[in-house]
Structure 1
Amino acid sequence: MADAEDKELRARKDRERDELYALDISGVEWHSAPGTESHEERVEIAYLPEGAVAMRSSLDHDTVLRYTEAEWRAFVLGARDGEFDLEPAAERSGGDVE
């Protein structure tokens, strides 16, 4: 029974992803953090239907990631909780910082 539910859930998520990436987003309005210069690289987001979000780099408009409402909510909550805080490279590699 659990296996069938897992397959059903996977199929639903695949459908949601396919539908999300099939959306024409050529006319969306992109938003970025205030206070950045136009030549600086920054993350831009666009709000899509049903709470979905698209994200891209301001310097690479061709690579766009899309997130369902649930995925975006999980990402934002994780970021607020510090899940994506970066450690200095020396700490990650176990080396000493001079």
Structure 2
Amino acid sequence: MMTTPTVVGPFVKSTASGQQDACVEVAPLSNGGRAVRDSKDQHGPRLFFSPTQWAAFTDSVKSGTPDAA
């Protein structure tokens, strides 16, 4: 049986988002990964990423090749 990790920190959005409502928010998970949610629907669905998946995503964004991840 697969267990969903626990959100252990607050959800935050980028300061570059300003006061916009159409943003994603990210929070740390108990397994070292990250959870992502829509800022407009804070009680809606969440996406969960393992530490390896999150590192691959952020590395690809930093390198300018997010479609290659």
TM superposition score category, shorter chain reference: 0.7 to 0.9
Give structure 1 stretches of 5+ with no counterpart.
Answer: 1-14, 86-98
The Cα offsets for residues 38-85 of structure 1, whole Å up to 9 and x where unpaired, read as x52111001011311000110122120000100000000011111237
**What residue is the counterpart of 1:64 in the other structure?**
46
Provide the aligned C-alpha RMSD in A.
2.2
Q: Is 1:79–2:52 an aligned residue pair?
A: no
Identify, as 1 or 2, the structure richer in helix.
1
Between the two structures, name the one with larger relative contact order (CA 8 Å, sep ≥ 6). Answer: 2
Could you tell me which amino acid in structure 1 is paired with residue 62 of structure 2? Answer: R
**What residue is the counterpart of 1:4 in the other structure?**
none
> TM-score, normalized by length of structure 1?
0.56
Could you tell me which amino acid in structure 2 is paired with residue 66 of structure 1? Answer: F
Deviating 4+ runs (over 2 angstroms): none
Q: Is 1:34–2:20 an aligned residue pair?
A: no
* Aligned sequence identity (%): 23
> TM-score, normalized by length of structure 2?
0.75
In 1, the alpha carbon distance for the partners of 2:62 and 2:34 equals 17
Q: Is the 8 A contact 2:25 2:36 kept in 1?
A: yes
In 1, the alpha carbon distance for the partners of 2:56 and 2:66 equals 12
